[in-house]
Amino acid sequence: MNIKFLGAHNCESQDTRLLSLVIDDSLVLDAGGLTSSLSFSAQQKLKAILLTHHHYDHVRDIPAIAMNFYLSGATINIYSTLPVYQVLAAYLLDGKLYPNFLERPQENPTIKFNVIEPYKPVQIEDYSVLAIPVNLSIPAVGYQVTSSNGKVVFYTGDTGPGLNACWQQVSPQLLIIEVTAPNRYEEFGRESGHLTPSLLKQELITFRELKGYLPQVVTVHMNPLLEKEIEVEIASVAKDLDSPITLGYEGMQLHL
Ligand SMILES: [Zn+2]
């Protein structure tokens, strides 16, 4: 399993992109910084896009990728839970901002939307995909993706603390988890549903108690303006837990 980090931050600039990961050049997790990171030919190889929740920084490039597929006569599969689909259909893909790619072209619409249910594994291409609810202010899930040769990654999307129930459902070798802000923003994190390094530490301690191990951990969704501070604090968490935790970045590639 090859995992490319197209966008690893919560704010966009010339140096940072919004959240988007791609597995084996075919399965996309969130579509924040998708199109600007891939050539047209790389885009055409994509088979499916999984969306964790409907916030703009995770769904922004859906209309853009759909236009590219539409113009080349191809189709793309998108997967999410029902609440995410309902918001996208009502506000982003309703035909006002841009064409309604859920219905155009009439004979073979560009977007094939698939609503999935939490806790029910679905087979998508060569992967078993499991959506597990996380703790955000709106409905949100993380995705566990298991390859045909048994490699397992869990991507949380955006989440606040309190992942005990989530951890019970997953057993990843690689955990890609959000850490939005440094420790002094803990109150903000608890209120808005985001993690800081110290909140992450508590979640990882719980994980280890439950599962008896810690996976390799890569953080995403960092606020670029606060990243230096986050980096120092993450290093301290990794040292305390005696386990590797690294910050994700645009262009990062991991092999499982
Ligand atoms: Zn976000």
Task: Express each pLDDT in 123-153 by its tens digit.
Answer: 999 999 999 999 999 999 999 999 999 999 9
Using the mean position of ligand 1's atoms as its centre, give its distance from the Cα of residue 65 in Å: 19
**% of the chain beyond a pLDDT of 90:** 100
Using the mean position of ligand 1's atoms as its centre, give its distance from the Cα of residue 252 in Å: 19
Could you tell me the CA-to-CA distances from 209 to 17, 112, 196 in Å, in that order?
34, 40, 20
Write out the H or E segment, with its range, that includes residue 94: none
Span 170-229, pLDDT tens digits? 999 999 999 999 999 999 999 999 999 999 999 999 999 999 999 999 999 999 999 999
Q: Which residues surround ligand 1, an ion (CB under 5 A)?
A: 57, 158
- Tokens at 169, concatenated: 């459902």
- Map residue 154 onto helix, strand or coil: strand
Using the mean position of ligand 1's atoms as its centre, give its distance from the Cα of residue 180 in Å: 9
Using the mean position of ligand 1's atoms as its centre, give its distance from the Cα of residue 179 in Å: 10
Q: What is the pLDDT of residue 73?
A: 96
Could you tell me the CA-to-CA distances from 34 to 27, 68, 84, 99 in Å, in that order?
12, 12, 18, 19
Q: What is the pLDDT of residue 234?
A: 98
Using the mean position of ligand 1's atoms as its centre, give its distance from the Cα of residue 12 in Å: 11
Concatenating the DSSP letter of every residue in 177-221 gives EE--S-GGGHHHHHHHT---HHHHHHHHHHHHHHHSS--EEEEE-
- Map residue 149 onto helix, strand or coil: coil
Using the mean position of ligand 1's atoms as its centre, give its distance from the Cα of residue 149 in Å: 31
Sign of torsion over alpha carbons 146, 150, 156, 162? positive
Q: Is 221 left (phi over 0), alpha (psi -120 to 50) or beta?
A: left
Q: What is the pLDDT of residue 153?
A: 98
Using the mean position of ligand 1's atoms as its centre, give its distance from the Cα of residue 10 in Å: 6
Q: Are 178 and 159 in contact (CB under 8 A)?
A: yes
Query: Is the bond leading into 161 cis (omega within 30 degrees of zero)?
Result: no
Residue whose token pair is 């837990």? 241
Using the mean position of ligand 1's atoms as its centre, give its distance from the Cα of residue 132 in Å: 17
Total residues belonging to the chain:
256
Span 5-29, pLDDT tens digits? 999 999 999 999 999 999 999 999 9
Write out the H or E segment, with its range, that includes residue 21: strand 20-23
Using the mean position of ligand 1's atoms as its centre, give its distance from the Cα of residue 87 in Å: 16
Q: What is the pLDDT of residue 232?
A: 98
Query: Across residues 63-73, what is the average pLDDT?
Result: 98
pTM of the model: 0.98
Q: What is the pLDDT of residue 64?
A: 98
Using the mean position of ligand 1's atoms as its centre, give its distance from the Cα of residue 55 in Å: 6
Could you give the CA distance from residue 36 to residue 17 in angstroms, rounded to a whole number? 9
At 52, the pLDDT band (50, 70, 90 cuts) reads very high
Could you give the CA distance from residue 29 to residue 250 in angstroms, rounded to a whole number? 14
